[in-house]
Copies of this chain bind each other. A is one copy, B any other.
Amino acid sequence: MHELMIDLDDSLRKPLYRQIYDYIRSHIADGKISCGEKLPSTRLLAAHLQISRSTVSLAYEQLLSEGYLEARRGSGYYASDISELYVGGRTPKKPLRKAKWDGQRLDSACGVEQKYRIVFSPEENDFSQFPYAAWRKLSRELLAVDDPTLFQAGEAAGELTLREAICTYLYHARGVNCTPDQLIIGAGNEYLLMLLMQILGGKRKVAMENPTYRNAYGTLAQMGCDMVLTGMDANGMKTEEIKRHDPDIVYTMPSHQFPTGIVMPLKRRLELLSWAMERPGRYIIEDDYDSEFRYKGKPIPSLQGNDAHGTVIYIGTFSKSISPSIRVSYMALPDALLRAYHANCGFYASTVPKEQQNILAAFLKQGYFERHLNKMRRIYKAKHDLFLSLLKKESWVQKIYGDYAGMHLLVEVKTQKSAARIVDQAKANGVRAYDLEEYRIFGTKRREGAPTLLLGYGALEEDAMREGISILRRVVREENDN
């Protein structure tokens, strides 16, 4: 039986079961616990660690479900033959993923990325420039009066004042054509998608781009949708593939596809719109998650603004433009779906606290948001320009794309190594970079071509960029047998 020398740390934010799980998993992955070796029973290990048995069981069950352990009836737990896991075409780290879509968002939600010194995350923003003073002032003003109405149940679709402010912003900044009545405010895109699927009713077939924003895929799959994936060319989603799959709904990010950065030109947009009009009940979900951040040329107006027939459902968020922690997204519904919303989902109370909605409405109406956005656009543009110029000097960088928008770049690497290997070796050196393939829906065919890294720069300062790049350079050049 293998003796486990686990050093539990109560002070860590990581739960105990997770510490046990991590210890055993890494020891099996490293071969320190070898295939077929018996592990202590949950009872023994719990007694040894002086913790509850259910904590140990939780860790063991997760290891079982991921294939690291095997249970033999009446005998106990044994380390599995993990070499088989690799043969199956999965990368060693892939089985750790509990489900198809628990990618980097889950990591960052759990704070797992905190262990790296430099994180090229596409999800992390720069909050050092947030107008704390303005937010404080608005919050103080809102709470200054003992106002009981602030604590009464609010409007189901969100406070009218906030919906008005968002409408005005969307009209001017994104060419979105809607009234405050058409807007539903909710606690994040995923919640709005849950609501939308209830509004649409019944099982729907949804086509998405691949690679894509995996949380949206996960939400729609969880809500029982029949998911299909379409390839992209330089103009985005391939319409002929959509037609072949014959979905009810297309989910797309036309202004800045995540993670590829592809911008859908007008012609392709019109093709999409005419596909939607061909049959009643077809809809396009336009996820316009970060189009505020374009650094070259004119901003690209929304697809919704081109839609004359009520086929586009527009979804936007303040996660990028303000912060993911404020949990505010919005959705503009076409008339037919608005009626269905009132008929089927009107009883749901808003998921955003009234206090938060009122502060945000004031933040928009009093011009703070606009100023903040312009300031952040300048800051991110400067970071973008610097990061791009640093990368262009690197001889191992073959091609850069997805530039001039958002907060990450895609970097094709001149190497014999796989991107996954580069990512692993960078991790071992304290740097978290991302393989573009991490954003591909699990189990679908890998893209051909050069290994491609996804490198986010939104939260990084110059020093960190330089250091991160130099570590990547070393890793790319190192011999494979390192």
Contacts and interface: CB of A to CB of B under 8 A. Distances in A.
Interface string A324-355: 11111000000110110011111111111111
Contacts of A198: 222-223
Contacts of A266: none
Interface in A17-68: 17-18, 54, 57-58, 61-62, 65
Contacts of A347: 99, 101-103, 105-106, 109, 214-215, 218
B130 A146 contact: yes
Given A139-B139, A143-B135, A187-B187, A345 B222 contact: yes
- Copies of this protein in the assembly total 2
B323 A350 contact: no
A474 interface: no
A151 B135 CA distance: 12
Interface residues of A, number: 85
A355 B132 CA distance: 13
A127 interface: yes
A323 B61 CA distance: 39
A358 to B, nearest CB: 10
Contacts of A336: 54, 58
A150 interface: yes
Contacts of A103: 347
Contacts of A58: 335-336, 338-339
Q: Taking each of A13, A322, A343, A350, which has the highest tally of chain B beta carbons within 10 Å of its own beta carbon?
A: A343
A32 to B, nearest CB: 24
A460 to B, nearest CB: 13
A442 interface: no
Contacts of A338: 58
A61 B339 contact: yes
A153 B324 CA distance: 5
B154 A143 contact: no
Interface string A139-171: 110011010101111111000100000000000
Nearest to A191: B351
A15 interface: yes
A438 interface: no
A91 interface: no
Given A108-B153, A152-B324, 7 more contacts: A98-B344, A105-B347, A109-B350, A130-B148, A139-B139, A187-B352, A218-B347
Interface of A: 13, 15, 17-18, 54, 57-58, 61-62, 65, 97-99, 101-103, 105-106, 108-111, 123-125, 127-128, 130, 132, 135-136, 139-140, 143-144, 146, 148, 150-156, 160, 181, 187-188, 190-191, 194, 198, 214-215, 218-219, 222-224, 322-328, 335-336, 338-339, 342-356
